[in-house]
Structure 1
Amino acid sequence: MNKQTLQEFEAMRRHFGWDKSDTLEFLVSCVKEEAEELFNSLNEDEEALKKELADVMMYCYAICIDNNYDMDLLIQEKIKEVMKREY
Protein backbone atom coordinates (compact mmCIF):
# COMPACT_ATOMS: atom_id res chain seq x y z
CA MET A 1 0.00 0.00 0.00
CA ASN A 2 1.47 3.36 -0.89
CA LYS A 3 2.15 5.89 1.85
CA GLN A 4 -0.79 8.20 1.08
CA THR A 5 -3.31 5.37 0.99
CA LEU A 6 -1.91 3.96 4.22
CA GLN A 7 -2.21 7.37 5.90
CA GLU A 8 -5.80 7.76 4.70
CA PHE A 9 -6.65 4.24 5.83
CA GLU A 10 -5.19 4.81 9.29
CA ALA A 11 -6.99 8.19 9.54
CA MET A 12 -10.29 6.50 8.65
CA ARG A 13 -9.78 3.87 11.36
CA ARG A 14 -8.94 6.56 13.92
CA HIS A 15 -11.93 8.67 12.85
CA PHE A 16 -14.35 5.83 13.56
CA GLY A 17 -12.42 4.54 16.60
CA TRP A 18 -11.76 1.21 14.91
CA ASP A 19 -8.05 1.44 15.74
CA LYS A 20 -9.06 1.13 19.41
CA SER A 21 -12.06 -1.20 19.19
CA ASP A 22 -11.07 -3.80 16.58
CA THR A 23 -9.76 -7.03 18.04
CA LEU A 24 -7.81 -9.64 16.12
CA GLU A 25 -10.73 -12.06 16.45
CA PHE A 26 -13.15 -9.45 15.08
CA LEU A 27 -10.88 -8.56 12.15
CA VAL A 28 -10.32 -12.20 11.19
CA SER A 29 -14.06 -12.85 11.33
CA CYS A 30 -14.55 -9.83 9.05
CA VAL A 31 -12.03 -11.22 6.56
CA LYS A 32 -14.00 -14.46 6.52
CA GLU A 33 -17.31 -12.65 5.99
CA GLU A 34 -15.91 -10.34 3.32
CA ALA A 35 -14.24 -13.26 1.53
CA GLU A 36 -17.65 -14.90 1.30
CA GLU A 37 -19.08 -11.67 -0.11
CA LEU A 38 -16.17 -11.53 -2.56
CA PHE A 39 -17.00 -15.04 -3.71
CA ASN A 40 -20.67 -14.14 -4.09
CA SER A 41 -19.75 -11.04 -6.10
CA LEU A 42 -18.64 -13.35 -8.91
CA ASN A 43 -22.32 -13.46 -9.82
CA GLU A 44 -22.47 -9.66 -10.01
CA ASP A 45 -20.64 -7.01 -11.99
CA GLU A 46 -16.96 -6.11 -11.86
CA GLU A 47 -17.60 -3.10 -9.59
CA ALA A 48 -19.10 -5.36 -6.92
CA LEU A 49 -16.06 -7.64 -7.16
CA LYS A 50 -13.66 -4.71 -6.77
CA LYS A 51 -15.53 -3.33 -3.75
CA GLU A 52 -15.52 -6.69 -1.99
CA LEU A 53 -11.86 -7.22 -2.82
CA ALA A 54 -11.08 -3.84 -1.27
CA ASP A 55 -13.00 -4.84 1.87
CA VAL A 56 -10.96 -8.03 2.23
CA MET A 57 -7.69 -6.20 1.70
CA MET A 58 -8.54 -3.42 4.17
CA TYR A 59 -9.30 -5.90 6.93
CA CYS A 60 -6.04 -7.73 6.17
CA TYR A 61 -4.15 -4.45 6.32
CA ALA A 62 -5.81 -3.62 9.63
CA ILE A 63 -4.57 -6.95 11.02
CA CYS A 64 -1.06 -6.15 9.82
CA ILE A 65 -1.09 -2.62 11.21
CA ASP A 66 -2.46 -3.66 14.60
CA ASN A 67 0.13 -6.42 14.93
CA ASN A 68 3.08 -4.51 13.44
CA TYR A 69 3.37 -6.95 10.55
CA ASP A 70 5.04 -5.79 7.37
CA MET A 71 2.58 -6.80 4.65
CA ASP A 72 5.23 -6.72 1.91
CA LEU A 73 7.56 -8.91 3.97
CA LEU A 74 4.76 -11.39 4.71
CA ILE A 75 3.99 -11.68 1.01
CA GLN A 76 7.66 -11.93 0.03
CA GLU A 77 8.20 -14.73 2.56
CA LYS A 78 5.13 -16.56 1.28
CA ILE A 79 6.32 -16.23 -2.32
CA LYS A 80 9.66 -17.79 -1.36
CA GLU A 81 7.83 -20.63 0.40
CA VAL A 82 5.55 -21.30 -2.57
CA MET A 83 8.44 -21.16 -5.05
CA LYS A 84 10.06 -24.11 -3.23
CA ARG A 85 7.03 -26.29 -3.95
CA GLU A 86 6.72 -28.62 -6.88
CA TYR A 87 3.45 -28.63 -8.75
Structure 2
Amino acid sequence: MADAEALAKAKGCNACHAMNAKQVGPAYKDVAKKYAGKADAVDYLADKIKNGGVGVWGSIPMPRQNVTDEEAKKLAEWVLSLK
Protein backbone atom coordinates (compact mmCIF):
# COMPACT_ATOMS: atom_id res chain seq x y z
CA MET A 1 0.00 0.00 0.00
CA ALA A 2 3.04 2.27 -0.07
CA ASP A 3 2.10 3.22 -3.63
CA ALA A 4 -1.30 4.42 -2.40
CA GLU A 5 0.33 6.52 0.29
CA ALA A 6 2.64 8.01 -2.35
CA LEU A 7 -0.41 8.67 -4.53
CA ALA A 8 -2.09 10.52 -1.64
CA LYS A 9 0.99 12.71 -1.30
CA ALA A 10 1.24 13.28 -5.05
CA LYS A 11 -2.43 14.26 -5.32
CA GLY A 12 -2.19 16.73 -2.44
CA CYS A 13 -4.43 14.85 -0.01
CA ASN A 14 -2.04 15.65 2.84
CA ALA A 15 -2.75 19.36 2.44
CA CYS A 16 -6.05 18.74 4.26
CA HIS A 17 -5.66 15.29 5.87
CA ALA A 18 -3.13 13.73 8.22
CA MET A 19 -2.71 10.18 9.45
CA ASN A 20 -3.72 10.68 13.09
CA ALA A 21 -4.93 14.25 13.53
CA LYS A 22 -7.76 16.35 12.17
CA GLN A 23 -6.56 19.20 9.98
CA VAL A 24 -8.94 20.84 7.52
CA GLY A 25 -10.46 17.40 7.01
CA PRO A 26 -10.62 14.35 9.24
CA ALA A 27 -7.62 12.15 10.01
CA TYR A 28 -7.26 9.18 7.69
CA LYS A 29 -7.52 6.82 10.68
CA ASP A 30 -10.78 8.47 11.82
CA VAL A 31 -12.24 7.87 8.36
CA ALA A 32 -11.11 4.23 8.51
CA LYS A 33 -12.79 3.78 11.90
CA LYS A 34 -16.04 5.43 10.79
CA TYR A 35 -16.44 3.18 7.76
CA ALA A 36 -14.90 -0.06 9.10
CA GLY A 37 -17.05 -3.06 8.29
CA LYS A 38 -19.41 -1.24 5.92
CA ALA A 39 -19.89 -3.28 2.76
CA ASP A 40 -19.98 -0.31 0.39
CA ALA A 41 -17.21 1.70 2.08
CA VAL A 42 -14.68 1.51 -0.77
CA ASP A 43 -17.18 2.64 -3.40
CA TYR A 44 -18.63 5.32 -1.10
CA LEU A 45 -15.24 6.81 -0.23
CA ALA A 46 -13.98 6.57 -3.81
CA ASP A 47 -17.02 8.60 -4.88
CA LYS A 48 -16.39 11.19 -2.15
CA ILE A 49 -12.72 11.46 -3.16
CA LYS A 50 -13.55 11.88 -6.84
CA ASN A 51 -16.64 14.07 -6.55
CA GLY A 52 -16.25 15.81 -3.19
CA GLY A 53 -18.90 16.35 -0.58
CA VAL A 54 -19.89 18.24 2.54
CA GLY A 55 -21.73 17.60 5.78
CA VAL A 56 -20.42 14.22 6.89
CA TRP A 57 -17.49 15.67 8.87
CA GLY A 58 -18.74 19.21 9.35
CA SER A 59 -19.43 22.24 7.22
CA ILE A 60 -16.10 22.49 5.40
CA PRO A 61 -16.56 20.99 1.92
CA MET A 62 -14.15 18.55 0.34
CA PRO A 63 -13.74 19.66 -3.26
CA ARG A 64 -13.70 17.33 -6.25
CA GLN A 65 -10.30 15.74 -6.65
CA ASN A 66 -8.42 15.32 -9.90
CA VAL A 67 -8.16 11.53 -9.78
CA THR A 68 -9.23 8.69 -12.02
CA ASP A 69 -11.79 6.14 -10.85
CA GLU A 70 -8.92 3.67 -10.33
CA GLU A 71 -6.91 6.17 -8.28
CA ALA A 72 -9.94 7.06 -6.15
CA LYS A 73 -10.55 3.38 -5.43
CA LYS A 74 -6.88 2.81 -4.56
CA LEU A 75 -6.94 5.78 -2.17
CA ALA A 76 -10.19 4.59 -0.56
CA GLU A 77 -8.82 1.08 -0.05
CA TRP A 78 -5.66 2.53 1.50
CA VAL A 79 -7.55 4.80 3.90
CA LEU A 80 -9.79 1.92 4.96
CA SER A 81 -6.74 -0.26 5.63
CA LEU A 82 -5.46 2.16 8.29
CA LYS A 83 -6.21 1.21 11.88
For normalisation by structure 2, the TM-score amounts to: 0.31
More helix by percentage: 1
Q: What is the TM-score normalised by the length of structure 1? A: 0.31
